[in-house]
Structure 1
């Protein structure tokens, strides 16, 4: 079947994970493709032969790229404030991205998941639930595979579970049939500017649903809860504290589903809370969200329970690296915002040595630091925003005695090993992005693991 983009001129802005996937997929459907990136070929380590038929314009985004352009595809890391994007909007050049293009073409039912925290854990767990239910399941989007490359082999009988970020959603005009919003708390304000703009981007995951679709919302989170009126179809909830008529909730120490999230519509027990093998109340909430979401997609409770029992978490999320001399080292490099550090801190009763640092996202730190100062033996600040963290600690407690400033993660690990005592936990939960020193949070987490292994 002829694709609508066959013979069309498509410009791709940004040549990271999503841009590379587009550069491979678009020529396969017959589009004429130009890729533009601010970096040079040397910086990109680009081998053009790997992308036959693709033209590269590097070192900038000239406005002339819009001449004859039928579609402008924007990678997640490319800000919409760029002149070329503003000009495209002015002259009504359509905007799209990898997720939009995939959803427009995918014949299988798609489940979409977003939120300020917990997206990857919940997306992964929902994928496992569908697999336990016997579906051939594809998991990707903002994590793992962009999915465009496997589009030709996805069948109507399969299931697709996508993590979607605010960077993707802000230009999207299509919503998955089951769309989940875990929470909306301050994040990425360095990109979106205000909470209102950030929340509006998240809301787009449900904005284009139909009357028969289901929005799964967090009952315990004000930001997610506020989207109820924006959902055109049914609403299912998940809650740690309330029984809900549709969705997932706790009955004592047991997880349960009901209504649209229960195959028979009646309340059903899924499993005991103790079946969940990952730490933290936030992960119980994630598991409830997964049950509400998978149930809305037709997964039986037996498959939900089996997936929960077998789930061991996702890399770089409260991941045990090593126990050395009675000290447990935990990698939570995914915690790129203070809100996520709060969730990590609440997962431990042991004394903590907390490693904070990286590049700031212009988010409030005071609430997290108040909690950290009450739970931690010591704080260690590293990286580009280290001085800012020290100043924030001084504002909160009037002293810099509880915190040590070091240059990088290597020194932070060495200092933590000197301070920690048997029974303590050394926790890398940085509260910042990794972009001051690493390509992403995973690279930072891998470095932390390597540093700990050689102690």
Structure 2
């Protein structure tokens, strides 16, 4: 299958020498961008609320303090860190004055010499990206590189890329908003709602994801989750060739589950059985959907399915995604710290038939917890251990759903785990699936999950 680069306006690194550039914020992505610019001797300024804890080379000008975003018109090109809302009034004011607002992701797509597949959705992006990389790696005819929201800024490997390579990018709504071109292949997983502390509302959140495909051409490929109405609506945004994936119905071309088998089919070919569904090592139907998405993406990128079954069977998943930590005395402990939305935690609950002791709560993302309360009341949950800022609102939702008697309010994660350990019986599962962000008590979801794993082992669960 012939592949092409993403279409859209192109930038050259040489042209950047003529621009007055500022990096807004020094997170992981803009630090990579700073290294990229410094290596090419391109001058730039840094604007941030705080002095950097780690030195940054090549900075020509610093603007530090609470007013670092005020009056940005002395620059003509701003690179926004993903955590800075693109609709911030000060950025909007700069745009009205003719200042261009960009991002590392946008610059990468402009400079990348290889075809790109971009993956977005509310949850499952990291798992799908990692598995898609593993599937593409079974094809020895092309190298594969992965980056984006999964953790590695793609500018870090830009200089290594050749036109024959394949690039897989996990793209969040934050990273998509500045784009004026789309990847050659776009994958849209289930889209619900998230980051309502950042986006104005659900509609703005969904709109922020549409650049993954809305700048595609008829020569591109769009792969959508046919089981999700919001994902299916992305078809209206793109003229690209349509592929789908599903856990409920045949998807041709694409990938799907039926009759206990994982199936795949390219345009104009007969469906092929990839492997039995029972060979998929990831827990939960939502992960089956991620597997079908990855298989469809790998096929669309031209990889043969010959060794897909082996790659799927050996895929261990990613940390903090329904990660089995340990078992002791018949009780199993799972770390699902990346479940920072109601939908993610509801999916985790559906992944278990065994009795659950659920540790839930954390920092607010503006979520409505009524669906979570109902899911807890309907699932086989023996106890709910509440932690963090959102504990009272989650408790109210569980109470409203008629399951208030199983709620235990805990001081912190350590107390919640200790309470769960004493309540658990043989055959139970203790599940950390917070449905909330981590920033009230932790620096990140990873720090929260890592502490959970350490605490599990500290109490003798090995």
TM-score, structure 2 as length reference: 0.93
Map 1:434-445 onto structure 2 (within 5 A): 434-445=438-449
Q: Which residue in the other structure is 1:73 paired with?
A: 79
Task: Deviation per CA, 1:131-156: give whole Å up to 9, x if none.
Answer: 11123211111112102022111111
Is the Cα–Cα contact under 8 Å of residues 61 and 84 in structure 1 kept in the other structure? no
Q: Distance in 1 between matches of 2:165 and 2:246?
A: 29
Q: Distance in 2 between matches of 1:181 and 1:226?
A: 10
Q: Which residue in the other structure is 1:202 paired with?
A: 209
Residue of structure 2 aligned with 1:382, choices 382, 387, 390: 387
Q: Which residue in the other structure is 2:188 paired with?
A: 181
Residue of structure 2 aligned with 1:142, choices 120, 137, 149: 149
Matching of residue 274 in structure 1 with residue 278 in structure 2: yes
Is the Cα–Cα contact under 8 Å of residues 5 and 29 in structure 1 kept in the other structure? no
Q: Distance in 2 between matches of 1:149 and 1:257?
A: 33
Q: Distance in 1 between matches of 2:134 and 2:290?
A: 13
CA 6–183 in structure 1, closer or farther in 2 if over 3 Å, else same: same
Matching of residue 157 in structure 1 with residue 147 in structure 2: no
Q: Distance in 2 between matches of 1:20 and 1:2?
A: 17
Residue of structure 1 aligned with 2:354, choices 344, 350, 355: 350
SS in 1 for 2:198: helix
* Aligned residues between the structures: 446
Is the Cα–Cα contact under 8 Å of residues 377 and 401 in structure 2 kept in the other structure? no
C-alpha deviation, 1:30, in angstroms: 3.4
Q: Which residue in the other structure is 1:120 paired with?
A: 126
C-alpha deviation, 1:304, in angstroms: 2.3
SS in 1 for 2:147: strand
Structure 1 window deviating more from structure 2 (417-426 vs 55-64): it is 55-64
Gaps of 5+ in 2: 1-11
Is the Cα–Cα contact under 8 Å of residues 73 and 97 in structure 1 kept in the other structure? yes
Matching of residue 12 in structure 1 with residue 11 in structure 2: no
Q: Distance in 2 between matches of 1:101 and 1:178?
A: 18
Q: Which residue in the other structure is 2:262 paired with?
A: 255
SS in 2 for 1:363: coil
Structure 1 window deviating more from structure 2 (29-38 vs 288-297): it is 29-38
Is the Cα–Cα contact under 8 Å of residues 372 and 398 in structure 2 kept in the other structure? no
Q: Which residue in the other structure is 1:418 paired with?
A: 422
Q: Distance in 2 between matches of 1:54 and 1:412?
A: 49
C-alpha deviation, 1:54, in angstroms: 4.6
Q: Which residue in the other structure is 1:129 paired with?
A: 135
Q: Distance in 2 between matches of 1:104 and 1:451?
A: 45
SS in 2 for 1:278: coil
CA 205–2 in structure 1, closer or farther in 2 if over 3 Å, else same: closer
Is the Cα–Cα contact under 8 Å of residues 36 and 61 in structure 1 kept in the other structure? no
Is the Cα–Cα contact under 8 Å of residues 266 and 299 in structure 2 kept in the other structure? no
Matching of residue 220 in structure 1 with residue 227 in structure 2: yes
Is the Cα–Cα contact under 8 Å of residues 62 and 84 in structure 1 kept in the other structure? no
Matching of residue 90 in structure 1 with residue 96 in structure 2: yes
Q: Distance in 1 between matches of 2:256 and 2:289?
A: 9
Q: Distance in 2 between matches of 1:420 and 1:15?
A: 44
SS in 1 for 2:21: strand
Is the Cα–Cα contact under 8 Å of residues 372 and 397 in structure 2 kept in the other structure? no
Gaps of 5+ in 1: none
Matching of residue 446 in structure 1 with residue 457 in structure 2: no
Is the Cα–Cα contact under 8 Å of residues 115 and 163 in structure 2 kept in the other structure? yes
Is the Cα–Cα contact under 8 Å of residues 360 and 433 in structure 2 kept in the other structure? yes
Is the Cα–Cα contact under 8 Å of residues 369 and 393 in structure 2 kept in the other structure? no
C-alpha deviation, 1:61, in angstroms: 4.2
Is the Cα–Cα contact under 8 Å of residues 11 and 65 in structure 1 kept in the other structure? no
Q: Distance in 2 between matches of 1:90 and 1:181?
A: 32
Is the Cα–Cα contact under 8 Å of residues 23 and 54 in structure 1 kept in the other structure? no
Q: Distance in 2 between matches of 1:281 and 1:380?
A: 25
Is the Cα–Cα contact under 8 Å of residues 140 and 161 in structure 1 kept in the other structure? yes
CA 395–357 in structure 1, closer or farther in 2 if over 3 Å, else same: same
Is the Cα–Cα contact under 8 Å of residues 36 and 60 in structure 1 kept in the other structure? no
C-alpha deviation, 1:65, in angstroms: 5.7
Q: Distance in 1 between matches of 2:137 and 2:15?
A: 32
Matching of residue 103 in structure 1 with residue 109 in structure 2: yes
